[in-house]
Amino acid sequence: MNKSHLSRTDNPTAVVTSQDVGSFVSVSGVGKGVLHYVGEVHGKEGLYCGIELETPTGKHDGTYQGIVYFVCPPRHGIFAPLYRVELDEIDDVPMMAASQTAKGQELLALDLDVVQIF
């Protein structure tokens, strides 16, 4: 089953949406962080989540191929496929500001398959 088509009522932790920007999330096989972006990434197929990790174990600062999708400290940012990201149940993490995208809000609603973390 394509997990990007599940609704929250089917599995509350299966899908994050643009409504969850600012929430604390867990990335399968990577760690935890704050969701900053949900949408397309230039040069990649599918829908990705831009996440600021707790530790400097990421690959960038929210910029990919010269496009700023969100802003975070160097090596704290990753883009993960939607199906690898789940909302975390931590109540004491303050909400972050809305996603800072170069693509615009219209891309946040796309429903596409995704395959890799970069």
What integer pLDDT is reported at residue 118 of this predicted model?
A: 60
Q: What is the mean pLDDT of each run of 10 residues along the chain (118 residues)?
A: 39 73 94 96 95 95 96 97 89 44 41 50
- Domain over 24-109 is classified CATH 3.40.50.800: no
The closest of 48, 45, 46, 74 to 35, measured between CA atoms, is: 48
* Alpha-carbon separation of residue 51 from 9, 41, 44, 81 (angstroms): 24, 13, 16, 11
What integer pLDDT is reported at residue 40 of this predicted model?
A: 96
What integer pLDDT is reported at residue 15 of this predicted model?
A: 77
What integer pLDDT is reported at residue 68 of this predicted model?
A: 97
